[in-house]
A and B are shown apart, each in its own frame.
Chain A
């Protein structure tokens, strides 16, 4: 019984996308650019050569926020989307009817359709793969060259993530929507 979250030292991110590939290989995610549980966003730098704005070219690694108040869960007609015992937002593919409501409701574009099962899929915090085997890191965290991610139990005051959140400033994405994300961006 834990409350899992993830802190991202996003300034470390070099947009290498190792996390994206590791996630696909670990979790057997379907091939195809649209089929991703995790992504890294970047922008074209503002300005004209040679006066380009470096600050505008930051990289933002992201994935399902595992919202405490998850709109995707609220809108699911069959409760296929649920909070598991570790507060991880999961999809039960046996119950998912593919009404796609959650895909529209998620403010983060974290969900996609797995064409093999014709159900909605998303980041599981590796719950049914790595965590199920007793591992303590997610595939995306573990593989990252610059160690952007720290995954852990927010309820455990001794965890690394709790320590990070106590000691470093951080923000969440679209926090004004009241979703209470459990992904924290360290500044």
Chain B
């Protein structure tokens, strides 16, 4: 469904992604793990059109979408839960969700998806009139996920959805990702929480300073010695 070919992205003189290739098959959960600064967020930002790729290709359903503007990428069916949630603090929960559907025009379908998001997160429905900035961290994370779902994406990209959440909530978020995936959405997931991500995903890429160091089915990587040492902190 999504394919990156030799993608390179730089910030000025610093090259953050140095020839990355990966593919995300339809219906699967693919995880991107790696140390801080490995280039995970940069990769997602390039896919969603927030920064330009220097070279390489981004293909979605066979279509070359390299350096497309963000609004076209959303329309095509890719949405993102950005790193650090980034809900709009002085908009209400409801307004945040509505913005998630900004590119859509079918009112009935939007209303249906809003209902679905409220079913997924009853808490958001209770607080739909509340300013997003006054939600707790966990609630903001739910809102960020709900907002991304409101564009009815085929591919949902999540940048560290469990960041800063209490362990119980982390488990909930992972269960949720599974549910979203089972409802038919393909998922590209970035996680610091490598063990949970590898257990959940169908396939994973381990990034090191802008390149793929290792790849394979999640369960296999869990048994890999290097992964266990470096990313799972085992002896």
Do the two chains bind?
no
The residues of B with any CB-CB pair to A shorter than 8 Å are none
